[in-house]
Amino acid sequence: MARHAEPKAPRRGLLLKAGLGLTAAGAAVLGAGAAAQAAPGAAVPLPVDSLTRTDAGAAGAGALSGVTHGVGPLTRLQLDPLANTGVDPLANGIGTQIADFKPVGTNLLTDHVTKGGAVADLPVAGPLTQKLLP
């Protein structure tokens, strides 16, 4: 390739210089902040007395309340996003009947999910989640 046909990439050098400049500026700002924070001055007293008197029961109850209110609505979400549509692959079922006995099929197990049910609507998991979560 001839020297005059060689592609020139002035943008690469410009972007490299800009990136290095931003990195240096960020390091200078963070370094100044760390130095200002570490400067000797009036020490902030720690509330040692309040740390020893923490009510563990109340803290646990508050954490449990927050988790249950955050996770509780998830039990009412529809499990199968394709439920009640014509393209739901879980809606396929198979069944059989022997002599005069009641017919048995897989729809007994999958109907809760394919009809748009949530975790709270499931036969075994539903009552269990209702006991554990509000």
95 strand-pairing partners? 105
Task: Determine phi and psi for 100, rounding to 5 degrees.
Answer: -100, 10
- Residue 105: HSE in the Cβ half-sphere, 13 Å Cα cutoff: 11
According to the model, what pLDDT value does residue 79 have? 84
Q: Per-domain residue ranges for the chain?
A: 70-80+94-134
pLDDT in tens, 9-67: 556 677 777 877 878 887 777 766 555 555 566 566 666 665 566 788 888 888 888 88
